Amino acid sequence: MTSGIHERPHSGQPSKRVGTSVYTYCVAAEAISAATRRLREKGRHADVQALLDRLDEQVPRDSITWILPDVPALYADILAIIRTSSGKLNFNDALIALACRERDIPALASFDADFDQVPWLKRLATADDLSL
């Protein structure tokens, strides 16, 4: 069943990390891509290795929620969110929002203000936003 951005169907998998951080692979992928691109743009090529080492220490592979198997079941909803947002939320953003909805994850740390239009998700952009 397809749902629009303002609807919330029954929840799927519950979050295993209630009260702690949840890292999805697509968030990690976007963060890694943006950070490494920024370092390369600034000519700080040598810092890429240190960034990846620190990331691996702070967010080890086994702490990442691998949501790729969700894509086929969520595909219609992903497209609905992209349509509803007129493309402001891209494919990965829509997948992230839906993965949060399906796992009862109420908040997302992001500087991307486009997540503000997702009604089931609170965006945490500053330290002041941490009080849910």
Residue 31 CA to residue 96 CA, distance in Å, equals: 13
Does the residue 109 lie in any domain?
yes
**Are 79 and 120 contained in the same domain?**
yes
Q: Given pLDDT bands bounded at 50, 70 and 90, which one contains residue 124?
A: very high
pLDDT digits (tens, 9 = 90+) for 109-120: 998 999 999 999
Model pTM? 0.60
Q: How far is CA 30 from CA 23, 35, 84, in A?
A: 11, 8, 22
| Domain assignment of residue 59, given as a range | 22-66
Q: What are phi and psi of 58, to 5 degrees?
A: -75, -35
DSSP-based three-state secondary structure for 23 = strand
Whether 117 and 26 have beta carbons less than 8 Å apart is answered as no
Over 60: is that where the pLDDT of 30 sits? yes
**Are 61 and 71 contained in the same domain?**
no
pLDDT digits (tens, 9 = 90+) for 56-81: 888 887 888 777 888 888 889 999 99
Over 90: is that where the pLDDT of 122 sits? yes
